[in-house]
A = this chain, B = another copy of it.
Amino acid sequence: MRLAILAHEKFPDRAKTAVGLLRYTDHEVVAVLDRDHAGDRVRDHIEDVQDAPVVAGIDDVPDIDAFVVGIAPIGGGFDETWRDDVTGALERGAEVWSGLHYHLADDEAFAALADEHDTRLWDVRDPPEDLTVAEGVARDLDATVVTTVGSDCSTGKMTATCELVEAARERGWSAGVVPTGQTGIMIEGWGLPIDRTISDFTAGAVERMLVERAEEYDYLFVEGQGAITHPAYSAVTCGILHGSMPDALVYCHEAGREAVHGYESFSLPDVGAHASLYENLAEPVSPTSVVAGSLNTSKLSEEDARKAVDEFGEALDEPATDAVRFGCEEILDAL
């Protein structure tokens, strides 16, 4: 499919979904919409991803199959300055994918246009109605389940998960991603938004995805969310940990981060102790262990990054890497 990604005024640093898609989607990105950077190319801003033109609006976008809302304002609402772009995409018959809390399918104008042009509005953060509680069966699946966990939100769990699957496939392993958040779901084209499920069904939703995919793959890499000690999001993390009943954990951290992002009065625990806490919390449900770590070193020089990864590995007492910068071989070897 040919995609255009809306990222007005936020590309690339505040456009996590846009950048995730540019890096990992199998689809072709033919344009990024950012009126502040119209005329640039993606590669003017970010390396190691698909290149595409940056354009001001839908009129400058070539033929597309899907139009993606690749940013979210605080609160997850719909910015009315995007309406012409979404309308234009629907009028061309393109699908529109969105991870906003505001569901485009509930917008009467968009719903009518999608109907008229026989195309799809895909609200990826709208979980299905028929989710249920976990049955506790993920430990019995044939596939080897690896779940990414971490010290905090935005430490690179989705990125590490995607890198691991790419590297595993290069080794010839049968490996798949189990996406749990909006960006991962858009990259993979399926998945459940675990942060939007009813809290009672958190583990059950993860379990359902694993059961669905376990026969297809030998290795399933579950995209983690948050942290089990996050003051706001720990419920989601705990549900993923117990719902996935992983055979192994990969611990993700960002170099230099010492406090919870957005909750700066909460210090992050020591990574070694934190990794043990994940193991201890998992143990009564399904024993597992942290087998490796991935450190996001994107803000460091190459030399400092190597040093930080070494220190991180010593603190974890496990093999470590930066999955994006230095590859995933240490982690795959540890599995």
Contacts and interface: CB of A to CB of B under 8 A. Distances in A.
25 contacts: A134-B231, A135-B232, A136-B231, A136-B232, A136-B263, A136-B265, A195-B200, A196-B199, A197-B198, A198-B199, A199-B199, A200-B232, A202-B235, A202-B236, A203-B233, A204-B232, A229-B242, A230-B285, A231-B285, A234-B239, A235-B236, A238-B238, A274-B284, A277-B280, A281-B281
A202 B239 CA distance: 12
Contact of A234 (B229, B232, B285): B285
A46 interface: no
A199 B266 contact: no
Contacts of A281: 228-229, 277, 281
A133 interface: yes
A298 interface: no
A194 interface: yes
- Residue of A199, A228, A239 ringed by the most chain B CB atoms within 10 A: A199
A77 interface: no
A276 to B, nearest CB: 9
Contacts of A266: 136, 284-285
B284 A229 contact: yes
Interface residues of A, number: 43
B198 A196 contact: yes
A70 B195 CA distance: 31
Interface of A: 133-136, 194-200, 202-204, 228-239, 241-242, 245, 263, 265-269, 274, 277, 280-281, 283-286
A134 B266 CA distance: 13
A257 B274 CA distance: 30
A63 to B, nearest CB: 37
B195 A199 contact: yes
A303 B199 CA distance: 40
A238 B267 CA distance: 19
A259 B32 CA distance: 54
A138 to B, nearest CB: 9
Contact of A236 (B200, B283, B286): B200
Nearest to A241: B234
Contact of A235 (B238, B277, B286): B238
A3 to B, nearest CB: 27
- Residue of A238, A267, A269 ringed by the most chain B CB atoms within 10 A: A238
A274 B196 CA distance: 29
Contacts of A237: 238
Contacts of A283: 269
A284 B229 CA distance: 6
Contacts of A239: 199, 234-235, 238
A267 B281 CA distance: 14
Contacts of A195: 198-200
A283 B273 CA distance: 12
